[in-house]
Amino acid sequence: MSFFPLPPLVSTAWLAERLGDAGIVILDTSWYLPTTGRDARLEHRAGHIPDALFFDLDQASDTSTALPHMLASEVAFAAYAGGLGIGSGTVVVAYDGSGANMSAARVWWMLRAYGHQAVAVLDGGMGKWRAEGRPVETGDGRMPGPTVFKALLDRTVVRDLDQVRDILTTRSAQVVDLRSDGRFAGTEPEPRPGIPSGHMPGALNLPYTSLVGPDGTVLPDDELRERITRAGITPDRPIVATCGSGTSACNLLLALQRLGYGTGALYDGSWTEWASRGMPVARSET
């Protein structure tokens, strides 16, 4: 059964036709903020797409820093991905249970950043899969035998704190914050203790939840373009996406890829690093 060309998004019907294929690794990449009260691993055990493996975003990130979800070393990520049976010829389909691709887009971006291009996000995620009455498994699932994953980080798609400070000064790229309107404006609290809300001076705001429809599927291309341009973003100019911890921001990078505008870049440290390092904080009314 043919996998290629593999688009950035695949439908539930596409995946259902390919369940059980040895060439696909399905990843339940669900991750939730502590304030939601949801436990992604317990939800995975309670029900997941058949053969899906749980991808622990925290464990797959740099565990040596207090900053959440920073990219791990190439060696560490290669070991984690290889342990899930992902090799050079593997097609990966990532999904989550958020209803808005909160973390699936991040894992899609991570794999591509480390050099694995054969990865797609399941459009609509677990919510759409369940709504369509498709099969669900319980338990942890059977882990595959480890394989060799060769990780080579593309540093052109990552930005650090100093680079973002320079970008905001020179306006050499557009910094787009995918957090909610209220967190961006400074009228709602951040979910992480000790982190003030607000935004980087000069950043634009496009909440990641506005990029999907009621069923959790990514908006049609024309609506995506309209949402992006309405936020003041010029999609054919350089873009750096940011959010709370570099997770939901990847939804914009996914949308740009789908629309053919290129890859964009991610500020890996995102708002948690920016605000905790005492950088300037702007606030505004929504």
User: Which CATH topology does 156-276 take?
Assistant: Oxidized Rhodanese; domain 1 (3.40.250)
Residue 1 has pLDDT above 50, yes or no: no
Kindly indicate the confidence band of residue 25, based on its pLDDT and cuts at 50, 70 and 90. Answer: very high
The two domains 9-153 and 156-276 share their CATH topology (first three levels equal): yes
Instruction: Give the pLDDT of residue 285.
Output: 61
| Mean pLDDT along residues 112-126 | 98
DSSP, res 208: G
Which H or E element spans position 24?
strand 24-28
Gyration radius (Cα) of the chain, Å? 18
Residue 46 has pLDDT above 70, yes or no: yes
Q: What is the average pLDDT score of the chain?
A: 95
Tally of CB atoms within 10 A around 262 = 14
Residue 48 has pLDDT above 70, yes or no: yes
Nearby residues of 212 by Cβ (< 8 Å), 6 or more positions away: 99, 100, 101, 218, 219
For residues 262 and 206, the model is more confident at 206
- For the chain, the domains span 9-153, 156-276
Instruction: Give the pLDDT of residue 262.
Output: 82
CATH number for the domain formed by residue range(s) 9-153: 3.40.250.10
Distance CA 282, CA 184 (A): 9
φ/ψ of 19, rounded to 5, equals -60, 135
Structure tokens at 82: 């290889």
pLDDT in tens, 63-77: 999 999 999 999 999
- Catalytic residue among 243, 250, 252, 254, which? 243
| Mean pLDDT along residues 75-92 | 96
Structure tokens at 192: 């992480």
Residue 150 has pLDDT above 70, yes or no: yes
Active-site annotation holds for 250: no
